[in-house]
Chain A
Amino acid sequence: MQSATPASFPAGPMPATVLFVDDEQRILRSLRMLFATQFKVLMTTDPREALVMLKRETVHVLVSDQRMPIMQGVDLLRKARDLSPDTMRLLLTGYSDLEAIIDSINEGEVFRYINKPWNADELRSIVGEAAAIAVGLRTLAPAVPLRGETAQRRILLIDDAADVASGLRTMIEEGFSGAFALDWVTSLPDAMGILERNQPSMVISELSVGGDDMMPFLKLLKLHHPHIVTIVQTTFRDTGLLVELINQGQVHRFLPKPMRKAMMLRGIQSGMELAREIHLHPEVAARHRVDVPPRPADAGLVGRIRSLFRGGPASR
């Protein structure tokens, strides 16, 4: 195990702990130099050792490479999520593998996906943000539930296809015996309407609906309504888009079409559990805080969405 505590930390609260995992030693040395002044830095080339560290001490942020001989980064993230769910998980990789990125969303619930070579300032800022969230969550006292769970939880489906809607409706009725109600819309304006009126806990959306690109909506949704858990269900697969969905949308699951029943059931199950947790402890939403999109592609559409959001219920 290698760790580095620099000569002097700035006076104040204990520094957060960041664990770096990469099969290239030189990358680790370089990252340590970048973070040693602000954080307690742990590093290892062996993902198995990383898991031991996660068990043994409080790690606030885990930053891992993807392509490693012993274990892939995504596998490490998944195990880390089970072992230490409050540890914020980041993937720092030079290798674009579509399957790995999808897995990092669905199984690793990764917070940010960063490409190598990285920009030092950006990386510092992302790790800093992740650490702050993790520290904030750990100091949470166990909260009292805010209100009872009398209301039926609602799911909003945004998709053009009627067969997708009916398939989902049937599956929800069979799989969850009416615990959740499904609202189905086929356009963006209709979606905004339902958001306002019915206050769903979860949104399941395609990427293009009624001719509109749903990406800006999904990003802004998470920004303004962080308590709503989103699932994207689509046939479209593109690494750039997936990275945006992670970094700026913090989408909970990325699922294929045609719908695979077991995957969707598990996705809704875990998503609703997360929604419930956020409902009881709203601060937990911070764990999935999104990056504000740098520059919207279609100013007109985004402007419309923004104004609709501003007119809606206040985000918590």
Chain B
Amino acid sequence: MEHVAELSVNVEPLDPEVSIMEVGDLFLEPRYDGFLSLPVVRDGQPIGVISRYGVQKVLMGRYGRELQGAKPVVAFMNDAPLVVPLEHSVEQASRHITRNIRFPIVEDFIVTRDGEYHGVGSVIDLLRGLEDRLMARNDSLAQSLNRLQESQTQLVQSEKMASLGQMVAGLAHEINTPLGYVRNNVELAHSAFGQLREMQEVFDSLVMLLQSPQADDAALQQAFERAMAVRGQAAAGFAPEDMEALFTDTMYGLEQISDLVINLRNFSRLDRSAVVNVDINQCVESTLLIAHNLLKHKVEVIRDLGELPPVTCAPSQINQVLLNLVSNAAQAIEEHGRIRISTVCHGGFVHVLVKDDGKGIRAENLERIFDPFFTTKPVGEGTGLGLSISYKIVRDHGGHIRVKSKPGKGTAFCVSLPVTSGA
């Protein structure tokens, strides 16, 4: 039920000249049983309401019926009744009635249409209507909450994907470089090997000829010339020292690729148990390796790592937080700069400080940076969720994360995590 129109009951109104005695008789009729009062209408306009209570007052007085009974109902009616237009919502009507109703409740209210009498409504029906509306709104709120929670999960997931995607692109580029020369060197080595094999075959046949007693000079000469020719070709191609250098390079390149893959595994910790006791310094190192691509050429990293007791945590999540802070710091640095990472144990907590000398955060933004979707990046760049997720992760670990910043000078984030109790 939404509007007053739905609870309006069309009852035949009273003419103003009807006597109060007749009204009394009417109230006794079965068809008026449910009504507390009856409306008085003149020329379509509602002018008052007469309640059973009102009639009772008149007729129960001493000789009431004889003395007053013939007087018209206008003399005794409430000429300032409660009136509600039918298009009003149930809430609006309820507000109006609550403000204006007099106690005890002895009257029904009048429902009008364009100012003219339309019907009457009871307060009980109004209450019922309100309760229905409240139930419906609760249902709809519960549904919204569900949807919001789902959205939130999806967004957190997509933020993870986005930052992962960036990381993967950076790593792919890092791997491409050593892969480039490793692949080329192997191809070159293969072709050099082919030449050497040819040389070996030719020299083998020369040696066989030399060893054979039947060999004639002409054949020997030919074999010798062939051997020299093949050897000449090989010499023109690659000097042994060059090939050695290529092999050294190749092994180095394979090491690099190996390291990158190991770093990735360490960082994501997909193959390890989720919650363990870790030395946070390891998380720092792991993160710096993964972030190398973001940092090289642009940022100098200074480590100041203290001795740390183990912290019980989900290292992949802590890595995510540290990567978020380091990449934010790198992005705050415009041309060249420094990031200083310090760790220390103090007061039952391990503190990780990530400090940069980038452009800093303005005071009015500082209190909002942990808000979801807050970002100072242009539209389309970044989700604005990185810090809010980091904040949540740190909080979930029983820790806290604080920030200080000075525009033009730099920013410092401090992540504090509780030391494993009993350690």
Name A's B-contacting residues (CB within 8 A).
6-8, 24, 26-27, 29-31, 33-34, 37, 67, 69, 94-95, 116-118, 120
| CB pair A6 B180 closer than 8 Å | no
Contact of B180 among A30, A67, A69 (CB under 8 A): A30
Which of B172, B173, B178 lies in contact with A26, CB distance below 8 A?
A: B178
Nearest residue, chain B, Cβ from A65: B177
B157-180 interface bits toward A, Cβ cutoff 8 Å, 1 = contact, 0 = none:
000000000000000110011111
CB pair A120 B176 closer than 8 Å: no
Q: In the docked arrangement, what's the CA distance between A95 and B183, Å?
A: 17
Q: How far is the CA of A29 from the CA of B239 in the complex (A)?
A: 13
B193 sits at the interface (CB 8 A): no
Q: Is the CB of A27 within 8 A of B181?
A: yes
Chain B residues with CB under 8 A of A27: 177, 180-181
| A117→B236 CA distance, assembly (Å) | 27
Task: Report yes or no: B173 in contact with A29, Cβ–Cβ below 8 A.
Answer: no
Please classify the interface of chain B as helix (H, G, I), strand (E, B), loop, or mixed, using the class held by over half of its residues: helix
Q: Which of B178, B239, B253, B297 has a CB less than 8 Å from the CB of A69?
A: B297
Pick from B173, B237, B249: contact of A30, CB below 8 A.
Answer: B249
Given A6-B236, A37-B237, A67-B173; A117-B183 close (CB under 8 Å): yes
23 contacts between A and B (CB under 8 A): A6-B236, A7-B235, A7-B236, A7-B239, A26-B178, A27-B180, A29-B246, A30-B188, A30-B246, A33-B242, A33-B246, A37-B237, A69-B297, A94-B173, A94-B177, A94-B180, A95-B176, A116-B176, A117-B176, A117-B180, A117-B183, A117-B184, A120-B188
Kindly state whether residue B423 has any CB partner on chain A within 8 Å: no
Contacting pair A116 B245 (CB below 8 A): no
Q: B252 in the interface, Cβ–Cβ < 8 Å?
A: yes
In angstroms, Cα B184 to Cα A29, docked, is 10
Given contacts A26-B249, A33-B238, 13 further A-B contacts (CB under 8 A): A24-B181, A29-B249, A30-B185, A30-B249, A69-B297, A94-B177, A95-B173, A116-B177, A116-B180, A117-B179, A118-B180, A120-B183, A120-B187
Q: Do A26 and B181 touch (CB < 8 A)? A: yes
A29 to B237, CA, bound (A): 15
- Residues of chain B within 8 A (CB-CB) of A118 are 180, 183-184
The answer for the CA separation of A37 and B234 in the assembled complex, in Å, is 11
What 1/0 mask marks residues of chain B from 223 to 246 whose CB sits below 8 Å from any chain A CB? Answer: 000000000000111110010011
Min distance, Cβ A99 to any Cβ of chain B, angstroms: 13
Return chain A residues, CB-CB under 8 Å to B246. Answer: 29-30, 33
Closest to B297 in A: A69
Query: Which parts of B100-136 form the interface with A (CB within 8 Å)?
Result: none
CA distance A26 to B177 in the complex (A): 9
* Chain B residues near A120 (CB-CB < 8 A): 183-184, 187-188
Q: Which residues of A have CB within 8 Å of B236?
A: 6-8, 37
| Residue of B whose beta carbon sits closest to that of A69 | B297
- The winner among B177, B178, B235, B238 for most chain A CB atoms within 10 A is B177
Known A-B contacts A95-B173, A117-B176, A120-B187; the reply to A30 vs B235 at CB < 8 A is no
Distance in angstroms between the alpha carbons of A6 and B236 in the assembled complex = 7
A26 near B252 with CB under 8 A, answer yes
Contact B181–A30 (Cβ < 8 Å) = yes
Please give, as numbers and ranges, the residues of chain B lying within 8 Å of A8 by CB-CB distance.
236
What residues on B are CB-neighbors of A67 within 8 Å?
173
Chain B residues with CB below 8 A from A34, complex form: 184, 188
| A80 shortest CB reach to chain B, Å | 21
- In whole angstroms, what is the CA distance A272 to B324 when docked? 49
By Cβ-Cβ distance, the 4 closest A-B pairs, closest first, are A94-B176, A30-B181, A69-B297, A116-B180
Tell me the nearest residue of chain A to B190, going by C-beta.
A120
A26 close to B183 (CB less than 8 A)? no
Residues of B with C-beta under 8 A to A69:
296-297
User: Nearest Cβ distance between residue B229 and chain A, in whole angstroms?
Assistant: 13
Q: How far is the CB of B177 from chain A (nearest CB, A)?
A: 5
Determine the distance from Cα of A67 to Cα of B235 in the docked complex, in whole angstroms.
36
Query: How many angstroms from the CA of A115 to the CA of B188 in the assembled complex?
Result: 19
Please tell me if the beta carbons of B184 and A31 are within 8 angstroms of each other in the complex. Answer: yes
List B contacts of A116 (CB < 8 A). Answer: 176-177, 179-180
Once the chains bind, are B188 and A33 in contact (CB under 8 Å)? yes
* A37: chain B residues within 8 A (beta carbon): 236-237
Q: Across the interface, which residues of B come within 8 angstroms of A30, CB to CB?
A: 180-181, 184-185, 188, 246, 249
What is the bound-complex CA distance between A27 and B253, given in angstroms?
Answer: 10
- Bound together, the chains give a CA A284 to CA B236 distance in angstroms of 35
Complex: how many Å from CA A313 to CA B406? 68
State the Cβ distance, A32 to closest chain B Cβ, in Å.
Answer: 9
Cβ-closest chain A residue relative to B192 = A33
Nearest residue, chain B, Cβ from A33:
B188
Cα–Cα, bound, A7→B235 (Å):
8
Q: Determine whether the beta carbon of A26 is less than 8 Å from that of B253.
A: yes
B185 to chain A, nearest CB (A): 5
Closest chain-B Cβ to A59's Cβ sits at a distance in Å of 22
Q: Tell me the complex Cα distance, A8–B239, Å.
A: 12
A29 partner, pick from B172, B177, B179, B181, beta carbons under 8 A = B181
